[in-house]
């Protein structure tokens, strides 16, 4: 296994990780920002107020993007397992 191959596999793994994490992180960021703006406008400084909207938004995101995310990770795993003989020999 050459260093280029190792870097290629590592780079592809990081790309897949970023693609899997991006929807959840972006939704959490947007919801947190909106709740923060709401708290600043109404001067309600309750820490637990941001938890429930984020939880609901993350569950909705998982319901919407979950099948795509599962398909992506299954395809990557399948490709990785199929490439093992080529990586070793």
Q: What is the pLDDT of residue 50?
A: 83
Q: Read out DSSP for 38-84?
A: HHHHHT---GGGGHHHHHHHHHHHHHHHHHHHHHHHHHHHHHHHHTH
Say how far apart CA 40 and CA 68 lie, in whole Å: 36
| Residue 10: inside a domain | no
Q: Is residue 54 part of a domain?
A: yes
The pTM score is 0.80
Q: What is the pLDDT of residue 21?
A: 96
Give per-10-residue mean pLDDT for the chain (89 aa).
88 96 96 92 85 94 96 96 86
Q: Is residue 47 part of a domain?
A: yes
Residue 51: CB atoms within 10 A of its CB come to 11
Residue 1 lies in a domain: no
Residue 9 inside a domain? The answer is no
For residue 68, tell me if it sits in a domain.
Answer: yes
What is the domain extent for residue 78?
16-88
d(CA 61, CA 63): 5
Total domains in the fold of the chain:
1
Q: Is residue 58 part of a domain?
A: yes
């Amino acid at each position: 296994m050459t260093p280029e191959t190792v870097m290629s596999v590592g780079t592809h793994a990081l790309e897949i990780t970023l693609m899997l994490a991006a929807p959840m992180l972006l939704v959490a960021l947007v919801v947190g920002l909106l709740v923060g703006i709401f708290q600043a406008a109404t001067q309600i400084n309750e820490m637990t107020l941001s938890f429930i909207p984020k939880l609901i938004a993350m569950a909705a995101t998982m319901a919407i993007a979950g099948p795509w995310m599962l398909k992506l990770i299954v395809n990557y795993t399948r490709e990785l397992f199929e490439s093992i003989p080529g990586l070793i020999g």
